[in-house]
């Protein structure tokens, strides 16, 4: 056997392969893959992180209405809502869409997950929930949330109102019960908390009445807030709203 024959690589199986990209046929070494292999769509589905249940759980915990009222408005039972938000069981397609629509949950391609789009009237019930919802809607704390009080006249005796003024985005409002422990913790829970701001009595009354209407039933929350932000669009569009 000559030297060039002894230096040949081991014999390997070869086959012709049609390149679907440029239409050329190539001689390829190795075993040809079976043509009946079907891609596993579940693999790709499982690789996507579906955080809608987590977002819904925190929003429901901060919603002005009870979880039972939220579930009823979404057309599901309280148990179905609890199982979905705890990750125990999925909702059927239509029920999930209805719940996401009610809570203002949208898929953000840039973030690669679901987000609470708002704007909202929220109630500070649970520290961790209000902290996570705030950080989500403020894109990680890119806001200067502040409590608002009227420049003249008495403030609401039952609630304190915190304006979440994210840059260039519609603001949301957090209602916190006066005298509650969680209310005293808001400066620590809301990143970049900017203290108390005095505002015109007319604006303060508008905030109070907007929140009252938004609390009537789950379905009117976002609608009332959208009307509110339209009235003050020049204050927050392309800037961070600093009420005076």
User: What pLDDT shows up at residue 142?
Assistant: 87
pLDDT in tens, 50-85: 899 999 999 999 999 999 999 999 999 999 999 999
Residue 123, C-beta contacts closer than 8 angstroms, at least 6 positions apart = 62, 63, 64, 174, 175, 176, 177, 215
User: Rounded distance, CA 91 to CA 99, Å?
Assistant: 9
Residue 7 in domain: no
Residue 235 in domain: yes
78-85 and 93-103 helices, crossing angle to 10°: 80
pLDDT in tens, 5-59: 544 445 556 656 655 444 556 565 555 555 443 444 443 344 457 899 999 999 9
User: What pLDDT shows up at residue 20?
Assistant: 47
Residue 29 in domain: no
pLDDT in tens, 170-217: 899 999 999 999 999 999 999 999 999 999 999 999 999 999 999 999
| Total structural domains within the chain | 2
User: What pLDDT shows up at residue 15?
Assistant: 58
Residue 197 in domain: yes
User: What pLDDT shows up at residue 38?
Assistant: 40
Residue 35 in domain: no
Residue where a domain stops, chosen among 86, 117, 148: 117
Please give the angle made by the CA atoms of 131, 126 and 196, to the nearest 5 degrees: 60
Domain around 94? 49-117
pLDDT in tens, 147-183: 999 999 999 999 999 999 887 788 999 999 999 999 9
Token couple for 201: 């009595």
């Amino acid at each position: 056997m000559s030297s060039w024959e002894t230096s040949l690589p081991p014999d390997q199986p070869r086959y012709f392969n049609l390149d679907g990209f440029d239409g050329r046929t190539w001689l390829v070494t190795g075993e040809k893959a079976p043509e009946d292999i079907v891609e596993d769509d579940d693999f790709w589905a499982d690789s996507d992180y579906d955080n809608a249940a987590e977002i819904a759980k925190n929003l429901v915990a901060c919603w002005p209405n009870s979880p039972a009222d939220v579930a009823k408005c979404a057309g599901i039972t309280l148990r179905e809502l609890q199982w979905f938000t705890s990750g125990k069981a999925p909702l059927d397609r239509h029920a999930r869409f209805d719940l996401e629509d009610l809570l203002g949950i949208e898929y953000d391609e840039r973030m690669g997950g679901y987000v609470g789009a708002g704007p909202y009237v929220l109630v500070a019930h649970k520290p961790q929930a209000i902290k996570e919802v705030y950080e989500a809607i403020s894109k990680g704390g890119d806001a200067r949330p502040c409590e608002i009080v009227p420049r003249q006249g008495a403030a609401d005796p039952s609630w304190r109102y915190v304006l979440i003024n994210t840059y260039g985005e519609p603001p949301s409002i957090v209602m916190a019960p006066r005298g509650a422990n969680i209310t005293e913790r808001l400066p620590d829970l809301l990143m970049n908390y900017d203290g108390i701001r005095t505002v015109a009595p007319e604006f303060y009354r508008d905030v109070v009445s907007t929140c009252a209407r938004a609390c009537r039933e789950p379905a009117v929350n976002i609608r009332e807030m959208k009307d509110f932000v339209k009235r003050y669009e020049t204050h927050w569009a392309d800037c961070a709203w600093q009420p005076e």
